[in-house]
Amino acid sequence: MFRGMQWRVTAWFMLIIIVGMGALGGYLTVSVRNVQLTNLKSDLRSEAVLMAAQALPYLDGTQDPAGLEALVKSLGTQTATRFTIIRRDGTVVADSDEDPALMSNHANRPEVVEAIAGGTGEATRLSATLGEQLIYIAVPVTSGDTTLGVARVALPSTRVDAYVGRSITTILIALAVIAVAVIVAAWLTTRYMTRPVRELTAAARRLAAGEFEVPLAQSAPDESGQLARAFNEMAVQLRSTVDELTEDRARLTAILDNMADGIITTDADGAITLANRAAGDLLGFRPERAARRPMIESVRDYELTEVLQRSLSSRRPEEIQFESSATGRFVRAIAIGGERSSGPLILLQDLTEVRALQTMRREIVGNISHDFRTPLAGIKAMVDTLQDGAIDDHDAALDFLTRIQDEVARLTHMVAELTELSRIETGRTGLEWSQVDLNALVRETLVQMAPQAERQQLTMTPDLAADLPAVPADAERLRQLIINLLHNAVKFNRPGGSITVTTRLEGDAVTLAVADTGLGIPRRDLPRIFERFYMGDRSRTGQGSGMGLAIAKHIVEAHGGSIAVTSTEGKGSTFIIRLPRSRPGA
């Protein structure tokens, strides 16, 4: 508190005033004393002259010298002053305070010597008679030109001092009052003067805390007003700068958060400074919690830590591909060398799909060659047999040819499916939209599939909703889809089993379910059965291209619908198709 500017200024004022007043007091004391002393001495001299005039008749013999004693004593008591009358030879004739007979010869007293010489004698000394400090003034008692003696007046100097002291006390009190008044005035003035500084300090603090609305009163015409104006301008500038920065940051954050690739920035120690949402999703951590923590504590992946360390030491871009243990995603991480002040920036790309696609492509090639090899091998064997002479056996040759024809038909069908699938997948097929009566379509397809079902002793039961509205669809493709599902239901059923086809209206969609009582699908195969060429171990033993369900899925999705499957191993499977009642995008 006492360190404030106001206090310091006041303290300086106090010092100056105390020193100044002290000097003034000292000076005044000395000069007042001198003046007083001079006045006193001149008064005493007047008294001495009067005394001399009074004493003259007694000394020149006109009156009895004995009367002088009484006169001196009386005057001395009245004026509280000591009077002494001394003859020219130095003998004391009368004294107001003492018995003259007891007093020594005064001829050699300095004031007496001077007075006898004709002047006014003056001295200050200890009185041998009274034992105190006295001021003496002596004048000659003259009759004509003859000096008869000396009239001397004496006053104790303590009385002089008391006299002078009173004046000085008055002066000092006045000075003290003035000093206090000046100090208070100084305190108030500095308080007033430093107010703008205090206000500025408070405003600067609020500004630092991010409060930009702190206008200072800037009306004062002096320097403080200028300072306030400058400060207000600065606040406005600062505000716009901060706004710009905030906006930039928001834009950057928006970009980062909407990027498909993950970004992690690090500091020179390899701790995370910033991570975007994609990075968090890819590696299974929460970006908002990662900041300022070592990489491994947030992104718990040692391979990423490794690439970061490598890049930190090599100061060059480093790359790694790894599978995240937290999310199972396959990630490519590129650490791009950091600047001096910061660590590397890590770019993360999700390669999971790419890798899955690569794997799938490998599988497809394997599957296709396998699926084509079997019928081709059959055809080749049968052709060989025919060449080796079977052609002459009419019945056998006919049988072989029929079987060759079947195999060729199968190959043709596979090629057609493959073509269809690739066409659907690249989106090059347009659908022929019309309002389709799903129940009618089911009945037709059931009739169509009846011979196959009978061969396996299967019963096919339609369970059709009576009030089923028509749905917008491509009738031909929908027929193909239902046949596909029925075909599977027949193929994977057990002899004597059943197939139930159900249609229902469910809100703004119609559903079609094909349930069989077959072998069911193992749980591990369920997620993959709609993939191209995916075949469970069981379907691999029979015939099939592995494309049926993939095509089914594409057809349903082209209609804006969905396909799902539930299955219990050993009990059967149910495929459920949902088709929306309104055309997608229409």
The nearer residue to other proteins, 261 or 306, going by C-beta atoms, is 306
Say if residues 337 and 317 touch (Cβ distance below 8 Å). Answer: yes
Q: Does 122 bind other proteins (CB under 8 A)?
A: no
Q: Where are the beta strands (DSSP E) in 114-215?
A: 121-126, 133-143, 146-156
Say if residues 442 and 501 touch (Cβ distance below 8 Å). Answer: yes
H-type helices in 324-393, by residue range? 352-387
Q: Does 97 bind other proteins (CB under 8 A)?
A: no
Nearest 5°: CA angle at 313, between 307 and 318? 35
Q: Does 318 bind other proteins (CB under 8 A)?
A: no
Rounded to whole angstroms, the Cα distance separating 63 from 160 reads: 35
Q: Provide the 3-class DSSP secondary structure of residue 509.
A: strand
Q: Does 5 bind other proteins (CB under 8 A)?
A: no
Among 33, 73, 300, 494, binds other proteins (CB under 8 A): 300
Q: Does 355 bind other proteins (CB under 8 A)?
A: no
H-type helices in 343-474, by residue range? 352-387, 394-425, 438-455
Question: Which helix (H) or strand (E) element contains residue 320?
Answer: strand 318-323
Q: Which of 462, 565, 464 is nearest to 518 (CA)?
A: 565
Among 195, 289, 423, 523, binds other proteins (CB under 8 A): 523
Q: Point out which span in 274-282, 319-327, 346-354, 481-489 binds other proteins (CB under 8 A).
A: 319-327
How many residues bind to other proteins according to rule CB under 8 A? 14
Residue 146 neighbours by CB under 8 Å, 6+ apart: none
Say if residues 579 and 556 touch (Cβ distance below 8 Å). Answer: yes
Residue with the two structure tokens 């008064």: 43
Rounded to whole angstroms, the Cα distance separating 107 from 297 reads: 116
Phi–psi pair at 495, nearest 5 degrees: -60, 135
Burial group, residue 287, by CB count within 10 angstroms (0-12, 13-18, 19+) = buried
Q: Point out which span in 56-64, 150-158, 320-328, 486-494 binds other proteins (CB under 8 A).
A: 320-328
Residue 119 structure tokens? 């002047």
Among 4, 65, 90, 294, binds other proteins (CB under 8 A): 294
Q: Point out which span in 108-116, 150-158, 297-305, 438-446 binds other proteins (CB under 8 A).
A: 297-305
The nearer residue to other proteins, 286 or 403, going by C-beta atoms, is 286
Closest separation between CB of residue 308 and other proteins, Å?
A: 11
Closest separation between CB of residue 524 and other proteins, Å?
A: 6
Q: Does 301 bind other proteins (CB under 8 A)?
A: yes
Q: Point out which span in 222-230, 289-297, 458-466, 538-546 binds other proteins (CB under 8 A).
A: 289-297
Say if residues 489 and 572 touch (Cβ distance below 8 Å). Answer: no
Q: Does 303 bind other proteins (CB under 8 A)?
A: yes
Q: Point out which span in 226-234, 296-304, 361-369, 493-501 binds other proteins (CB under 8 A).
A: 296-304
Residue 51 structure tokens? 């005394």
**What is the per-residue burial (b if ≥16 Cβ within 10 Å, else e) of 9-36?**
bbeebbeebeeebeeebeebbeebbeeb
* DSSP class per residue in 532-550: TT---HHHHHS---S-HHH
Q: Point out which span in 90-98, 183-191, 205-213, 518-526 binds other proteins (CB under 8 A).
A: 518-526
Q: Does 531 bind other proteins (CB under 8 A)?
A: no
The nearer residue to other proteins, 536 or 580, going by C-beta atoms, is 536
Task: Bin 292: left if φ > 0, else alpha if -120 < ψ < 50, else beta.
Answer: left
Q: Does 296 bind other proteins (CB under 8 A)?
A: yes
The nearer residue to other proteins, 118 or 522, going by C-beta atoms, is 522
Closest separation between CB of residue 244 and other proteins, Å?
A: 38
Q: Does 297 bind other proteins (CB under 8 A)?
A: yes
The nearer residue to other proteins, 42 or 359, going by C-beta atoms, is 359
Q: Does 323 bind other proteins (CB under 8 A)?
A: yes
Specify the amino acid at residue 219.
S
Rounded to whole angstroms, the Cα distance separating 129 from 364 reads: 148
Q: Does 326 bind other proteins (CB under 8 A)?
A: yes
Among 12, 27, 192, 302, binds other proteins (CB under 8 A): 302
Q: Does 457 bind other proteins (CB under 8 A)?
A: no
Q: Does 325 bind other proteins (CB under 8 A)?
A: yes
Q: Does 268 bind other proteins (CB under 8 A)?
A: no
Q: Does 22 bind other proteins (CB under 8 A)?
A: no
Q: Does 522 bind other proteins (CB under 8 A)?
A: yes
Binding interface with other proteins (CB under 8 A):
294, 296-297, 300-303, 305, 323, 325-326, 522-524
